[in-house]
Amino acid sequence: MKNVTIIGVGLIGGSFALDIKTKYPNTTIYGIDNNEAHLEEAIALGVIDKSTSLNELSKSDLVIVAIPVDVTLDLLPKILDNISENTIVFDVGSTKENICLRVKNHPNRRNYLAAHPIAGTEFSGPRAAIKGLFQNKTNIICEVEETAFKLQEKALALFSDIGMRIRYMNPKAHDKHIAYVSHLSHISSFMLGKTVIEKEKNERDIFDMAGSGFESTVRLAKSSPAMWTPIFKQNKTNVIETLDKYINNLKHFKRLMEKDDFQSVYQEMESTNYIKQILNGIK
């Protein structure tokens, strides 16, 4: 790859840039971002080399779209309007069905690969970029058959070189499953944080008592609302379904405690310990 453009030079886009610089040192990394300060910071940190614009995309071999999913919906068709026939474009959005539908009939649909790297932290902006972020992480690819084979090979080679595992899934299944393992986790973290903050108004020392368990559980509550609100909006139906099931489980747990049925409380937790085996298997 000679020229790569990153649209959205924050955590994910910036981390891709750092890995590309490591694996392909002769590549020039260009950046596009609606926040001029982010572009300046990314250049100063050496995350990207230069800034550019949409009308210069035809010069890029690869375009990575790392922006909120609602912006991707509007911008992706314009990106595909401006590329060359040899450019491969992939996005990193946490929802896939609506994005795939938006460009289904675009003349350059063959140049687009729908991707979702399962990687990240609760931080944002160019300074949050991490070299090696994607090592041993799963990357879900949707509708791979819609992407020209020679073009998808470019992206798949990059994913392999930076250490990612590939899973293939249709967009509808992706959005349903990710609602459980990602979107629900963030909502749970945000609402736990809200609950404790509301309590803290009356008990000022509550955070002095908070241990590592609380800190790890609410870590995701530090994530960007500007990124996550559009995700919840795009995946509304699946997220509501997961919330219904989660709330029912919480109510059931509460009823067991109200009845002093702590043997059942124990059994509920013991059966859920099976999650350790599942997660160890993934690792």
pLDDT of the residue at 101:
98
Which whole-number Å values give the CA distances from 93 to 25, 244, 253, in the listed order?
26, 24, 34
Number of H helices, E strands in the chain: 12, 8
C-alpha torsion 144→145→147→148, nearest 10: 130
Parallel, antiparallel or unpaired: strands 112-117 and 62-65: unpaired
pLDDT, tens digit (0-9, with 9 covering 90-100), for 193-218: 898 888 776 666 666 666 677 778 88
pLDDT of the residue at 205:
67
- Phi and psi at residue 274, to the nearest 5°: -60, -20
Give dist(CA 248, CA 88) in Å, integer: 44
Q: Which domains does the chain have, with CATH numbers?
A: 3-169 (3.40.50.720), 174-282 (1.10.3660.10)
What is the amino acid identity at position 148?
Answer: A
Order of all β-strands in the sheet with 88-91 = 50-51, 28-32, 3-7, 62-65, 88-91, 112-117, 138-142, 165-169
Low-confidence ranges of the chain (pLDDT < 50): none
Distance of CA 64 to the CA centre of its chain: 13
pLDDT of the residue at 208:
66
- The CB-side HSE value for 72 (13 A sphere, CA atoms) comes to 32
Q: Would the pTM of this model clear 0.85, i.e. be above it?
A: yes
Give dist(CA 31, CA 43) in Å, integer: 9
pLDDT of the residue at 210:
66
